[in-house]
Structure 1
Amino acid sequence: MSSPRARSSSRTPKPIEDPPTDLESIARIDASLVFEHFTTDDAWELGSALRARLLPIATPVVINIALANQNQPLFHTCTHPGVMPDNDSWVARKRKTVLRWGCSTWYMHCKFKGDEVAFREKYGLGNSAGEYAIHGGGIPIRVTGVEGVVAVVVVSGLKQHQDHAVVVEIIRELYY
């Protein structure tokens, strides 16, 4: 059964700009992404905008937004067929990194220059290192006047710098 609506656009997708790789710039961007409030409606708006932005790209991508304190999903979807269970594993690992260190996974990736061994040793993670991912795409959601991270948005499926950059792009377009 075919759908009357096209699921992806035949137009050329807008390129996703590369994010900075220096820690100062990444930290400044992370710190600037503060919401006045973050409700289920905000999660829906953000998740839907991310999905609309990513639909023209043929690569299957997972978009997940969940509350920080309960792991309660507020938004979870895929853009195209072909997403594998491994994508959800990446979502969980990126989310766990954001919650433990309170910064984007892109920041952690650049801090360790992608060196997972150095990351594991720095924090004494041992066998639990596989529970975390220092690959871009996990971003903390902060709210003015609230201490800590209130939610985490994760994109998984593109190149890691694109996973990160598209979230920043859409948050800026919607809220700034």
Structure 2
Amino acid sequence: MLDALPSPTRSLDDLSREERAFTFAHFTCEHAWVIGNILRNALRTADCPAIIHISLSSSQTLFHSPSMPGCMPDDEAQTRRKAATVLRWGHSTWYLHCKFNGDEKRFSESYGLTVDEKARYSLEGGGYPIFVKGLEGVAGSVVLSGIDGEQAHMVLLKALEEYRELRNDFRSPMRSMTVK
């Protein structure tokens, strides 16, 4: 299934528009639960072990789960690095990967990162920003670790698209009930 995904764009303008297209009116643990489960189900269907992590910029974790057995301890470390990258630069890790053509050295030099700082960030795709209307900056991040960065970006993108479709078409039975 993951091999059937199209390659993501490498255009920084297109990536920036793509990221902003998923601006939420608000973002709660309920949003994280649904998005996290969309991701988990997609990865399980593809028989693909990965770590799914959704957190706020305050570092509060809203969703954290392996998709299935087979994840490695390094995946947890990479999750932290991707989330830190998204929160600091306000873009997906794929955006930054494309901006620097995957060149970690150029990335580090461009931002004047020390060796210790460099170890805290990642240019591998799989980290995605959460924007909320009326909030300046990034509200949080959605991260996938354990699969190829290009694929991780597309899996995140497809999950967010699926979530948006669910939300747009969702009509709660409780909302349509009339109380007498």
Q: TM-score, normalised to structure 1's length?
A: 0.89
Query: Are 1:114 and 2:102 an aligned pair?
Result: yes
Structure 1: distance between partners of 2:69 and 2:138: 31
Which position in structure 2 is the counterpart of 1:74? Answer: 62
Query: CA shift at 1:13, angstroms?
Result: 6.5
Instruction: Using the TM superposition, give the Cα deviation of residue 82 of structure 1 relative to its aligned residue in structure 2, in angstroms.
Output: 1.5
Partner of 1:9: none
Q: Counterpart of 2:173?
A: none
Matched with 1:125 is: 113
| SS state at 1:66 partner | strand
C-alpha displacement of 1:58: 2.4
Per-residue CA deviation, residues 68-98 of structure 1 (Å, 9 max, x unaligned), is 12x1110001112111110011000001000
Question: CA 1:14–1:160 in 2, change beyond 3 Å: closer, same or farther?
Answer: closer
Within the candidate set 163, 170, 174, 1:174 is matched to 163
Q: CA deviation at 1:124?
A: 0.7
State how far apart, in whole Å, the 2-side matches of 1:20 and 1:141 are: 19
| Matched-pair contact (CA < 8 Å) for 1:13–1:56 | no
Distance 1:16 1:83 in 2: 22
Structure 1 distance, partners of 2:162, 2:8, is 15
Q: Which has the larger radius of gyration?
A: 2
Equivalent position amino acid for 1:74 in 2: L
* Alignment-mate amino acid for residue 136 of structure 2: E
Displacement over 3 Å in runs of 4+: none
Q: Does 1:86 align with 2:74?
A: yes
Report SS of the residue matched to 2:131: strand
1:40, 1:59 → 2: CA distance? 24
Unmatched runs of 5 consecutive residues or more in structure 2: 166-180
SS, match of residue 145 in structure 1: coil
Moved more, 44-53 or 139-148: 139-148
The residue type equivalent to 2:19 in the other structure is: D
Q: Which residue of 1 aligns with 2:170?
A: none
d(CA) in 2 for partners of 1:43 and 1:31? Answer: 18
Tell me how many residue pairs correspond in the alignment: 164
Q: 1:14 offset after TM fit, Å?
A: 7.7
Letter in structure 2 aligned against 1:132: Y
1:30 positional shift: 1.1
In 1, are the aligned partners of 2:75 and 2:146 still within 8 Å (CA)? yes
Structure 2 residue 87 is matched with structure 1 residue 64? no
RMSD between superposed Cα atoms in Å: 1.4
What is residue 104 of structure 1 aligned with on the other side?
92
Unaligned runs of 5+ residues in structure 1 are 1-11
Indicate if the aligned counterparts of 2:2 and 2:151 stay in contact, CA closer than 8 A: no
